[in-house]
Amino acid sequence: MVISAVILTFVSIAGLVYFISVTWFEGAVQVRRRLERLKPAVASPATEPADLESPLFVRLFGPLLAKFSGLIMKYTPVNINNQAERLLESAGYPWNLRVKDYLVIKMTVILATPLSVYLTTGAANRQMGLFYAGATLILAMLIPDFVLKRLAVFRRQQIITALPDALDLLTVSVEAGLGFDQALLKMTEKTKGPLTEEFKRVLNEMRIGKIRRDALRELSIRTGVEDLQTFTAAIIQADQLGVGIGNVLRIQSRQLRESRRLKAEERAQKAPVKMLIPMIIFIFPCLFIILLGPGVLQLIDNFTKLK
């Protein structure tokens, strides 16, 4: 029982370390391979095989963990795969994770964490060890999705922050004589961030033959940002009706900044109401102790003397 648990814990931790190491070293390996391809074709001594460029841990445990990930993908329901895909997409595929990597990491956390807690706490008290392992299992099932959701919220906030400046740059480019696609390309060359990555994806989809309105509609669905959905809807409508893109962009930029100003005023008006809760919980009791404390102590002293 204990030996099998230790083996399963080792395999789970090894899987987690494997995918973290792959995530860290994948970019450097790809860059090195591209540089090797760009070198001039001159006679050179025999180089090491491409497999030797990978980290030692990946070469040792890669085949075993690849089978482990294949089993997880085979027996994972389709709806869970789709949910993981949507979470990763909304979070911007952090650390170059794909669905297979995320599911393996999630399963590794779910298996390794409760077992580790049980092995460390169950030796002294088996019931308490089972209780702690069960609580840890619930947390291990919730934490990976929670982290992705928080990353998605942070990414949407970055998109909302960058959208007004991006619209201003698009408006200036279109009014200077560029088409919408060329203005979008120019904007992606001058800016960085999640919004730029999304617009780059739209351009790539249009290059492979997707219609502009379909690519923009998928952009609005993928990001889930209300202001971006309004912008894409206006661009799609202008494209269908033949309205000038420059006027639409100027109106959208002005409306977006007005909307942001109204939202800021709304948050400012809600601030005094939100401040009442910490004031009532933390500040008012301290004031009552300072103001009424001496009087209460004096009353207590007088009552004790009367007795």
What single DSSP character describes residue 279?
I
Q: Which of 78, 79, 77, 98 is nearest to 88 (CA)?
A: 98
Q: Of 51-55, 129-133, 191-195, where does the model show the most confidence?
A: 191-195
Average pLDDT over residues 154-179: 88
Distinct helix (H) and strand (E) counts, the chain: 11, 0
Note whether 137 and 114 are within 8 A (CB).
yes
How sure is the predictor about 307, in pLDDT bands with cuts at 50, 70 and 90? low
What single DSSP character describes residue 124?
T
Q: Where are the domains of the chain?
A: 2-155, 157-260
Q: Is the pLDDT of residue 254 over 60?
A: yes
User: Which CATH fold would you assign to the domain 157-260?
Assistant: Receptor-associated Protein (1.20.81)
pLDDT of residue 18: 53
Tokens 């207590």 — which residue?
300
pLDDT of residue 305: 74
Please give the share of the chain, as a percent, with pLDDT higher than 90.
4
C-alpha pair distances (Å), 140 with each of 179, 207, 208, 303, 306 = 50, 42, 40, 57, 62
Q: How far apart are CA 298 and CA 305, in angstroms?
A: 11
Residue 60, Cα to own-chain centre: how many angstroms?
A: 30
Q: How far apart are CA 81 and CA 174, in angstroms?
A: 41
Q: What is the mean pLDDT of the chain?
A: 78
pLDDT of residue 47: 46
Digit-coded pLDDT (tens) for 214-231: 898 888 888 888 888 888
pLDDT of residue 255: 85
pLDDT of residue 154: 92
How sure is the predictor about 150, in pLDDT bands with cuts at 50, 70 and 90? very high
Q: Is the pLDDT of residue 42 over 50?
A: no
pTM over the 0.85 mark: no
Amino acid letter, residue 178: L
